[in-house]
């Protein structure tokens, strides 16, 4: 483990990342796939210039649960291929990262006996003669007390040697002779925080794989750390496609505002990525090819162009560079035409649909599992809540429906069309509605959004 003052960006032993990945992403082997989707995306990389491999029955998309599993496995394969070393980062840059080495106590906490309250430190039985001086936090060790003596003390101040108890301000008073009397019985050691009460030097405070939250930063600072050894963020580039997109002003003349460009950078960062660039390149096949081949990111995210129309250039570009399709369409609404491709052994492309809510579906279906594994974040615990209203389902596909959480239930939101963001902007989670729909009161799996899921949303900065 590096010292707390290690240089920012300093590489440490590769084994730390491997251990972190193994610890927080330790899953059983791949689940059996639908026979119609036997290709699991783990064959050898397609030769340059060859067409991406597609399942034999290419008109059928991958079931939603299996698509997430494929993305997760792709992340594990990429992590093994790249073997990125842990990095040491200062505390103010570590929020949202994952510990690649245990957080070990560098000293006892507290490191000296401290007062838990404002009041008097006293020695022996009372009443006590009160010294003139007081003891404040941050000052050197005060003079020792002898039996029958007391001294004013502030919360957090060092307790004088010989003190047996701290009498709270509201539990004591001085008599006519100026001696301290108690108004409530106090026990030996009361309101004294003894040295090492929280931990002893060398104790493990947090294990490898812990997500760095604000509370973790506070603990690390209290323990004397200036920097933490963490898993480096995977890098992502975003390519926004479409000639119809405006970057400012009101929609007009068949042009619409680009909603995905402003949304994807913070959303990907909330999922654990470091976003290098967000580029708008329109419907230009050559520009797309140049941008994809020039990127060195672990993950390229494209928006739109994943279907088979005259200006949908994502599939032709993948064929041109010899990429391997791992997922080509998912049985989910919205977001059906999303895709996941392996560009090289350690690099991937996620193609999102152009409709905003469909793109969100693609992020949580394909980008989230892959980035979570690369960032060595723990997998979220699945949970279910009953639906407050029935949700109409698709005959064959999973539906992802924005919901708000109310008490012990989830309320589906109305604005859930593939082009709508009004519902997801107000949502706490997405309900995973299986084919056929869900009745009122039926317990349904929920996907938390990054800013509502146990600290992950701290990663926007």
Domain boundaries 43-83+232-374, CATH class: alpha beta
Top-tier CATH class for 114-193: mainly beta
Instruction: Say what the pTM is.
Output: 0.77
pLDDT of 28 > 50? The answer is no
187, pLDDT greater than 60: yes
Closest CA relative to residue 67, chosen from 457, 395, 365: 365
Residue 60, classed as helix, strand or coil, is coil
pLDDT of residue 381: 86
Q: What is the mean pLDDT of residues 4-33?
A: 39
Residue 274 confidence (pLDDT) above 70: yes
At 246, the pLDDT band (50, 70, 90 cuts) reads low
CA max distance for the chain: 97
In CATH, the number for domain 383-460 is 2.40.340.10
- pLDDT confidence band for 247 (50 / 70 / 90): confident
pLDDT (0 to 100) of residue 132? 86
User: 395-412: string of b/e by CB count within 10 Å (b at 16+)?
Assistant: eebbbbbbbebeeebbbb
**pLDDT in the model for residue 22:** 52
d(CA 234, CA 299): 8
| Inter-residue contact 374 to 75 (CB < 8 Å) | yes
Query: Rounded distance, CA 278 to CA 275, Å?
Result: 8
- pLDDT for 45 beyond 70: no
Task: Give 369-384 pLDDT, tens digit per residue.
Answer: 999 999 999 888 889 9
Span of 145-149, 303-307, 436-440, 456-460 with lowest mean pLDDT:
456-460
pLDDT category of residue 67 using cuts at 50, 70 and 90? very high
Q: First-to-last CA distance in the chain?
A: 26
Q: Where does 59-210 have alpha helices with state H?
A: 64-82
Contacts of 233 (CB under 8 A, 6+ apart): 97, 272, 273, 274, 375
| Closest among 143, 150, 142 to 125, alpha carbons compared | 150
List, in order, residues 6 or more apart from 158 with CB less than 8 Å away.
112, 113, 114, 115, 135, 139, 140, 141, 142
Segment 171-195 shows an average pLDDT of 90
C-alpha to C-alpha distance for 264 and 430, rounded to whole angstroms: 17
What token pair was written down for 313? Answer: 């250039």
Pairing between β-strand 383-386 and β-strand 324-328 as defined by DSSP bridges: unpaired
Instruction: Report whether pLDDT(13) > 60.
Output: no
DSSP state of 109: B
Domain boundaries, the chain: 43-83+232-374, 114-193, 383-460
Average pLDDT across the chain, whole number = 85
Q: What would the mean pLDDT of 97-110 be, rounded to a whole number? A: 94
8-state DSSP, 163: -
Residue 176 pLDDT: 83
Q: Is the peptide bond before 127 cis (omega within 30 degrees of 0)?
A: yes
- Residues 171, 154: Cα–Cα separation, whole Å: 15
Q: Which residue has the higher pLDDT, 48 or 186?
A: 186
pLDDT in tens, 223-238: 999 999 999 999 999 9
Does 58 have pLDDT greater than 90? Answer: no
The answer to whether 114 and 158 are in contact (CB under 8 A) is yes
CA distance 411 to 335: 22
User: Is the confidence at residue 55, as pLDDT, over 70?
Assistant: no
pLDDT of residue 51: 43
Dump pLDDT digits (tens) for 389-416: 999 999 999 999 999 999 899 999 999 9
Q: What percent of the chain has pLDDT over 90?
A: 68
Question: Residue 307: what pLDDT?
Answer: 86
293-351 pLDDT, tens per residue? 999 999 999 998 898 888 889 999 999 999 999 999 999 999 999 999 999 989 999 99
| pLDDT for residue 82 | 87
Q: What is the CA radius of gyration of the chain?
A: 29
> What are phi and psi for residue 267, nearest 5 degrees?
-70, -45
- Could you please report the per-residue DSSP string of 203-260? -EEE-TT-B--HHHHHHHHHTT-SEEEEEPPPEEEEEE--TTEESSS--BTTBEE-SH
């Amino acid at each position: 483990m590096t010292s707390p003052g290690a240089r920012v960006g300093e590489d440490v032993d590769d084994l730390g990342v491997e251990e972190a990945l193994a610890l927080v992403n330790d899953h059983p082997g791949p689940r059996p796939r639908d026979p119609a989707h036997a290709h699991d995306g783990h064959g050898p990389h397609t030769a340059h210039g060859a067409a991406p491999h597609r399942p034999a029955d290419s008109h059928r998309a991958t079931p939603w649960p299996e698509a997430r599993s494929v993305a997760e496995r792709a992340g594990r394969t990429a992590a093994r291929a790249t073997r990125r070393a842990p990095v040491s980062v200062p505390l103010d840059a570590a929020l949202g990262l994952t510990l690649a080495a245990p957080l070990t106590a560098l000293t006892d906490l507290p490191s000296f006996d401290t007062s838990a309250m404002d009041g008097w430190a006293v020695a022996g039985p009372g009443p006590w003669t009160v010294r003139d001086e007081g003891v404040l936090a941050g000052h050197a060790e005060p003079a020792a007390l002898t039996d029958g003596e007391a001294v004013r003390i502030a919360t957090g101040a060092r307790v004088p040697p010989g003190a047996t108890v701290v009498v709270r301000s509201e539990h004591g008073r001085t008599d006519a002779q100026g001696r301290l009397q108690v108004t409530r019985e106090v026990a030996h050691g009361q309101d004294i925080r003894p040295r090492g009460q929280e931990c002893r030097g060398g104790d493990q405070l947090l294990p490898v794989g812990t997500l760095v939250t604000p509370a973790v930063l506070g603990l690390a600072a209290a323990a004397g750390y200036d920097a933490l050894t963490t898993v480096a963020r995977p890098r992502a580039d975003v390519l926004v496609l479409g000639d119809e997109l405006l970057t400012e002003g009101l929609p007009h003349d068949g042009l619409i505002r680009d909603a995905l460009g402003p949304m994807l950078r913070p959303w990907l960062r909330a999922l654990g990525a470091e976003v290098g660039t967000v580029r708008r390149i329109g419907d230009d096949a050559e520009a797309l090819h140049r941008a994809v081949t020039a990127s060195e990111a672990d993950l390229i995210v494209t928006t739109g162009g994943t279907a088979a129309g005259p200006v949908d250039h994502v599939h032709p570009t993948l064929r041109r560079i010899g990429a391997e399709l791992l997922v080509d369409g998912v049985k989910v609404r919205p977001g059906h035409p999303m895709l996941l491709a392996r560009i090289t052994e350690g690099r991937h492309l996620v193609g999102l649909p152009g409709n905003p809510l469909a793109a969100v579906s693609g992020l949580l279906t394909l980008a989230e599992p892959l980035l979570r594994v690369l960032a060595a974040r723990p997998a979220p615990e699945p949970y279910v809540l009953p639906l407050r209203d029935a949700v109409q389902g698709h005959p064959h596909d999973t539906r992802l429906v924005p919901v708000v959480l109310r008490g012990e239930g989830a309320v589906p939101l109305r604005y859930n069309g593939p082009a709508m963001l009004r519902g997801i902007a107000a949502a706490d989670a997405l309900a995973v509605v299986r084919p056929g729909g869900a009745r009122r009161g039926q317990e349904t799996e929920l996907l938390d959004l990054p800013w509502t899921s146990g600290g992950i949303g701290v990663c926007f900065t």
